[in-house]
Amino acid sequence: MFGNKRGGEGDCNKRETRGKREKCSSSKSSNTAASSSSSDSNSDTKNMTRSRRLSDKSGDTVGDTDINSVFSIGRITRGQMNRLKQISSESLNFELSGSVRLKNSKKSVAAGSSIDQTRKFVMKRKHELDSEKSPEKKACKSTHGRSIVATRTAILPLASPVQHKAVTRNTSTRRARLASDGSNSDAPPVESHGMITAPTTPTKVNQTPPGNNEWLQRFLQWNARDKIQVLENLIGVCQPHEVRHMLEVIEPQFQRDFISLLPKELALYVLSFLQPQDLLIAAQTCKFWRILSEDNLMWREKCLEEGISEPYMTKIMRNNWKSKRSVGCGSTWKASFLRHARIEANWRSGNTKTPKLLKGHDDHVITCLQFNGSRIVSGSDDNTLKVWSAISGKCLRTLTGHTGGVWASQMRKNLIISGSTDRTLKIWNADTGLCVHTLYGHTSTVRCLALHDNIVVSGSRDATLRAWNIDTGECTHCLVGHMAAVRCVCYDGERVVSGAYDYMVKVWDPETEECLHTLQGHTNRVYSLQFDGHYVVSGSLDTSIKVWEIERGTCLHTLMGHQSLTSGMELRDNILVSGNADSTVKVWDILTGECLKTLEGSNKHHSAVTCLQFYGKFVITSSDDGTVKLWDVKTGKVVRDLVTLDSRGSGGVVWRIRASQTKLVCAVGSRNGTEETKLLVLDFDSDPK
C-alpha cells in the first residue's frame, strides 16, 4: 500500500509537473508571439528609418556624386544628368508610401530589400514622368505576330558612388499603369497574358528646352567675334548627325533667288555687269531670269561694247511682227549679238559655204575692187569695169568707155566713179550700166579717189587734186601745191589730206582751195594715208610711218619697225594696222606710238603684203605668196588660211581683198599666166537665205 501511495503521489506529481510544463509552454508561446510582434514592429521601424536615411543620402549627397561622376566620364549628357537629379529629388515625396507597402508585405526581407524596393519605385516614377512628356515609339511586331516589348534604359545612382545599374522596364507595364491612373485614356487595353498591341505613332510636339531663351539673349549680347568663337566651339562638340542637321537648315539660306526678290530696275542693273556669255547662261535659269535677260536696252549696250552697231531681226521675229504677235519676238539686239557670235565662229572654224568663182577680165590685172555687201565692182587694166552680184556670183554688167586702164574706183549706192590712165573720171549707173558723166580736167593719169556724200576728190600724176560734184559732173575746186604725182588722198567732208611722190603730206581746205599744213618729215615717196578727222597717218617708202596732229600740223610719233614700203593701212579707234612689203603686219597705238603686236610667226606670209582689212577682232591680209590669212588682233597669231592658191609660190597672187561682216571678196591672178584671173567670194553667213 505504501508502494501504491507512493505510486499515486508520483502520478500526481507527474500530472502537476505536466500541467506546469503546459502552462509554461503556453506562457512561452505568448511571450514568443509578443516578442515576434515586437520584433516585426521594430524591424518595420528600422526599415523605414533606413529607407529615409538612404533616400536622404541618395538624394542629397550620393545621388549628386554618382550623377556627376557619370557625366564626367562621358556616359550621359548634361540634359540626362539634370533629369536624373530631378527624379532623385522627387523620390523623397514617395518615401512614406513605399514604407507602407513594405510594412504590409507578409514576407520577411533583409535590411537591403527596402533599398531595392525604393529604387524600383523611383524607376517606376521616372518612367511615368517620361511617358507623360515624351511619346513612346511604336513597338515592332515579331515574325510570329507577337508584340516585341520596347525597353528603356536609365542610369540611377546607387549607395556606392562608383556603381551604376541599368534598369529595364517593360513598356506594357508602364502603359497599363498610366491607363489605370487615367493619365492616358487612349492607351490600348492590357491583354490577359500581359502584352499589348502595337500603338499608333503619336505626333511629336516640339518643346523648347528650359533655359533656351536665356541662352539666346546672352548670345545676342556678345560681339561678332565672340559669337563666331562660340559657334565654332559648339560645332566642335556636336555629333555628326547634329552637324548634318545644321547644314540642312543653313544651306537653303544661301540658295535664295535674290534677283527675283529685287525690283526690276535693280535686277537689270545687277545683270548689266555680266558678260554677254554669262547673260546667255543666266537666261536658262528660270522664266523670270529669262525675261530679265531679254532686256533690249541692256543687250544694246552689250552690242555696242562689242562693236555691233545695228540690231537684227530673225525670220521668226519678222513673221511675229507681221502677224502682230508679241510672243516670241525677243530682243533684236540679243539676236544681233548671237548672229555675230555664230558668224565669228564661222570665220574661225572655216565653216563656210563653197566659194563662188567670178571669172572675167581675161588674163589682165584687177587693179581696183569695191564691195558694198550685195554688189561687187572690179576695175582692170583691160579698160573695163565689171559689176557682179555677190549673192548669185553672176556678172551683171560690163562698163566700157575708158580708153585706158582703170586704176581707181569708188562706189555709192547705185553710182560708180572710176579714174583711168586716159586722164578722165567717169560716173556710171550700176543698174543700167550707162555712163552718166565724163569728168575732164586732169592732164595725166587719175591715180586715186576719195568720196564723201556727193563730192569726190581725185588725185593725179599731174600733181593736182580736183573736187567734183558727181550729181552734176562739175569740177568745184582745184588744189595745187604738190611738186610730184599725188599717190593717195583722203576726204572727210571738211578737210582733204593728200600724199605725193614729193615726200610731203598736205592738208587742204577744199572750199577756199588753201593748203592749211604741209607735213614734212618723210625722206621718200608717200604711198598710203589714213585720216580720222583728228590724226593723219602716213606710210612711206622710207620704211617709216608718221602720226600727225591735223590742227597744229605737228608730228606726234614716228613709228619704226618695218623694213620696206608700207603698202596698206587701216585705222580704227586709235589702233593702226599696217601691212608692209617685208611680209609683216604690225598693230600700233597711235597715241603712244607703241607697237602692240607684230603679226608674224611660223605661218606668216612669205612675200609682200598686198592688201589688208581690219574688221572687228580680225585682220585679213593678202600677199604675193598666193594666200589670204586671218589674224587674231589680241593674240597676234594666225587663226587660219582663208585662201590658198594652187599656184602659190609659182606666180599666183592675191591682188586685192574686200570684206564685210559675212563675206570676203578676193581678186586673184598671176603675172606669168599660172593662175587665171578671177574673183573668189567666201560667205560666212549663219542664216540660210
> According to the model, what pLDDT value does residue 191 have?
42
C-alpha cell read off for 165: 545599374
CA distances from 124 to 64, 116, 220 (A): 20, 12, 41
Nearest to 622 by CA among 664, 672, 594: 664
For 574-610, what is each residue's pLDDT tens digit?
999 999 999 999 999 999 999 999 987 778 898 999 9
Average pLDDT in the 481-508 region? 95
Average pLDDT in the 473-499 region? 95
> According to the model, what pLDDT value does residue 55 have?
42
> According to the model, what pLDDT value does residue 310 have?
84
Q: Could you tell me the strand order of the sheet in which 496-500 lies? A: 486-491, 496-500, 505-509, 514-519
Rounded-to-integer distance, Cα 389 and Cα 358, Å: 9
Question: Predicted confidence band at 370 (pLDDT cuts at 50, 70, 90)?
Answer: very high
> According to the model, what pLDDT value does residue 85 have?
67
Task: Please state, rounded to an integer, the average pLDDT across all residues of the chain.
Answer: 77
* Residues 387, 430 contacting (CB under 8 angstroms): yes
User: Checking phi first, is residue 493 left (phi over 0); if not, alpha (psi -120 to 50) or beta?
Assistant: left
C-alpha cell read off for 576: 593702226
Cell 492616358 sits on residue: 184
Average pLDDT in the 551-566 region? 93
* Residues 397, 387 contacting (CB under 8 angstroms): yes
Sign of CA dihedral 134, 138, 139, 140: negative
> According to the model, what pLDDT value does residue 219 have?
87
Average pLDDT in the 618-645 region? 92
Sign of CA dihedral 399, 403, 408, 411: negative
Question: Is residue 588 helix, strand or coil?
Answer: strand
C-alpha cell read off for 628: 589670204
For 384-414, what is each residue's pLDDT tens digit?
999 999 989 999 999 999 999 999 999 998 9
Rounded-to-integer distance, Cα 446 and Cα 409, Å: 10
Q: What share of the chain is helix, strand, coil (3-state, %, to 5)?
A: 35, 30, 35
CB-based contacts of 481, cutoff 8 Å, min separation 6: 506, 508, 515, 518
3-class SS string, 225-273? HHHHHHHHHHHHHCCHHHHHHHHHHHHHHHCCCHHHHCCHHHHHHHHCC
Rounded-to-integer distance, Cα 50 and Cα 44, Å: 10
> According to the model, what pLDDT value does residue 208 have?
63
> According to the model, what pLDDT value does residue 394 have?
92
CB-based contacts of 669, cutoff 8 Å, min separation 6: 363, 364, 365, 366, 652, 653, 655, 675, 676, 677, 678
CA angle 319, 320, 321 (to 5 degrees): 90
Nearest to 448 by CA among 462, 435, 438: 462
User: Would you say residue 306 has pLDDT above 50?
Assistant: yes
Cell 586722164 sits on residue: 423
Judged by average pLDDT, the poorest of 349-353, 417-421, 465-469, 571-575 is: 349-353
> According to the model, what pLDDT value does residue 190 have?
40
Question: Predicted confidence band at 462 (pLDDT cuts at 50, 70, 90)?
Answer: very high
> According to the model, what pLDDT value does residue 650 have?
85
Cell 560734184 sits on residue: 469
For 517-531, what is each residue's pLDDT tens digit?
999 999 999 999 999
Who wins on pLDDT, 26 or 221?
Answer: 221
Average pLDDT in the 527-551 region? 94
User: Checking phi first, is residue 194 left (phi over 0); if not, alpha (psi -120 to 50) or beta?
Assistant: left
Strands (E), 486-534: 486-491, 496-500, 505-509, 514-519, 526-531
User: Would you say residue 16 has pLDDT above 60?
Assistant: no
> According to the model, what pLDDT value does residue 118 have?
53
User: Would you say residue 126 has pLDDT above 90?
Assistant: no
Average pLDDT in the 192-212 region? 52
Backbone angles phi, psi at 483, to 5 degrees: -105, 0
Question: Predicted confidence band at 567 (pLDDT cuts at 50, 70, 90)?
Answer: confident
Question: Is residue 37 helix, strand or coil?
Answer: helix
Buried b / exposed e along 238-260 (16+ C-beta atoms within 10 A): eeeeeeeeeeeeeeeeeeeeebe
Sign of CA dihedral 269, 270, 271, 277: positive
Half-sphere exposure for 483 (CA within 13 Å, toward CB): 5
User: Would you say residue 298 has pLDDT above 70?
Assistant: yes
* Residues 55, 118 contacting (CB under 8 angstroms): yes
> According to the model, what pLDDT value does residue 545 have?
96
> According to the model, what pLDDT value does residue 518 have?
95
C-alpha cell read off for 157: 545612382
Average pLDDT in the 46-69 region? 47
In total, the chain counts a number of residues equal to 689
Question: Predicted confidence band at 58 (pLDDT cuts at 50, 70, 90)?
Answer: very low
> According to the model, what pLDDT value does residue 442 have?
96
C-alpha cell read off for 58: 541618395
> According to the model, what pLDDT value does residue 162 have?
38
CB-based contacts of 68, cutoff 8 Å, min separation 6: 81
Question: Is residue 159 helix, strand or coil?
Answer: coil
Question: Is residue 256 helix, strand or coil?
Answer: coil
> According to the model, what pLDDT value does residue 61 have?
43
Cell 542629397 sits on residue: 60
Judged by average pLDDT, the poorest of 150-154, 290-294, 645-649 is: 150-154
Average pLDDT in the 458-482 region? 95
Rounded-to-integer distance, Cα 137 and Cα 172, Å: 12
* Residues 198, 152 contacting (CB under 8 angstroms): no
Question: Is residue 581 helix, strand or coil?
Answer: coil
Half-sphere exposure for 31 (CA within 13 Å, toward CB): 6
Rounded-to-integer distance, Cα 630 and Cα 286, Å: 39
Average pLDDT in the 294-317 region? 85
* Residues 473, 439 contacting (CB under 8 angstroms): yes
Rounded-to-integer distance, Cα 466 and Cα 459, Å: 7
Who wins on pLDDT, 503 or 600?
Answer: 503
> According to the model, what pLDDT value does residue 259 have?
86
Average pLDDT in the 332-349 region? 90
Question: Is residue 526 helix, strand or coil?
Answer: strand
